[in-house]
Structure 1
């Protein structure tokens, strides 16, 4: 017996749900098959030492295609020690629709295997292809998703809309088209979708195979740039997976951008067929803080005595907000809020009449005068600014400086300030 390692090749039909590997299988056009290669360096019949730098090459017969669309499979194996075994698997697709048997043999080579033959062949594997008669109408399903790679937490539940988009963000589109109808054949298809004007396509991958820029269409439209992928054929069970990565221009010219992927082509009977996916939407980040102070009322009092402290009425006491805030910033830098009384309390019908009282800001056991401005709230990096809500014994309260029973309605003016990056 010749002292040599062995290469065994087996196959199973994944589309038909086969789990065991054998040296033959039955298949139809479009079926996904899986080859298993087993390299063994038997202690009894092997080369007697480590088989080094082993690789497998499998030249597929016409009618079988590798996952990258080629007809040649190359698999690095590495070193196979004495009594060692290495197993590798690859997927291929049946690309021929006729009654035929596809037969092929793989080969393995290593850097230190010198016993004839230098190239080690495997056993034959047979794929018995049965012609499929395409007589049923096509049924294409499309599912689409969009993700902001730069700011990944801004999408909705179905990942069809991303909020808080900004110039320079990297955006991912994923578009999947599947022909789910048995005995059907979609041919001559063209899939189109739009990307914003001046966006840069970083990569476009179809079924895990990168597509160079010159191999797909890119033309200017009213909605930006229309990307087109042509010559699409999908027989029963076929799936088309498209992944697009793009970079938005530094200055975006839209507030809201939507594209709906669409595929057009021919049904089994050559009539026109169209399918559309889910609208994919980008919404530009608002980057604003909405800040709405409420009027503060200290109520009606028949008389005021020096030393009294007046509380706010219920309208600006918890749970009601003194300042209503909506923080729409994407990047939450630290922010502080200050407030200052810009004038004394004046009688609204007689500006020369002053109320002997001043505002204090109560926080914990301290109380600070508001006449020079006082900080009432602040955030840390990454924290949103929220409504200003005070309990009854905290926040702004009115301290009476002198007794009075002079009737009238007295007002002051407050100046609120939001300080970015304190």
Structure 2
């Protein structure tokens, strides 16, 4: 059994012990191809998701005027569905394998954007850009999150950070491509171009994202839903960390552009704010992933999550001009990138590599609820005032993230005690 594993499998399981050498990752080699392919997969699905604001702004102004109440759910439903297969992740992997999971995601995500380009009603958009793309992305996200963890140990933080940087770079690139295409050839062709980009990138991911060996190495207790993982106190606390933090995490990404418009800033600011945050986010994922390897992944996760919440409470609540808005966007983008990159890197240290597939599935299930309801709750709080008061949204995001960070601190104490050590 791996030294890092803290979970004992159900006595009824026949595969109770796995040779330690059998699950020792190579920490390089072919793993770098896996990281590159995972980067491409994250680039495609999160790049589109972060660019949703570009389409939302165009739809509400020119296409589906007066339908904002429905359109506001498209992005939230889409990103929430990114992890819908989480509870049965291990079962899906056993039945399909990474290759066929990614191939399915490639077909669904590409079809979603192509079909959306023919939409004539707002519910068509909800079904294609929301539900269909989200379901397709669920077959892409968990393999691209899980695979890099399996191939690395000492450099796991750097490897996962590089893979996750794809989402930030994708947000920067695809949002600007979408905006340029909308302005030059129309939103329908913008969707088709995005569909082609997604198809190419996900096809690359399908060819090269692979687990470390066969599913027996990382399959855990081999149940449909591996509830036994909750017998590990650190896993349980980590579950609540993810659950609470995600209620606030995406709020700035989705609402800062409209905050810029409410402040009467140049339209360029609102259009590019999320893209610039994504770029900072991408750089941060690599830097903080490396920082986690050097100073301790649990230490770094707590620090980044706590600073995310603190910037919301101290800076976003006091944004009154363009300068403070950009300061908040850069700082939140950096620490937010750290949170996203470090959340998966600590998981093998909590459950061991032999349990990583079901653990990844269950832990990322927490994202469904936060990403679906967090931003709509913030929007309701903002719109309670007239004119809309974005301080309410900042308080919501800041408080939920701070509370979530306390659970990260709890896990750090369970792992390394109260003394300051690398853990």
- 1 or 2, which has the higher helix percentage? 2
Choose 1 or 2 for highest CA Rg: 1
Higher relative contact order (CA 8 A, sep 6+): 2
Flag whether TM exceeds 0.5 (same fold): no
- 1 or 2, which has the higher strand percentage? 1
TM range (shorter): under 0.3
Please, what TM-score do these two structures have when normalized by structure 1? 0.17
Please, what TM-score do these two structures have when normalized by structure 2? 0.17
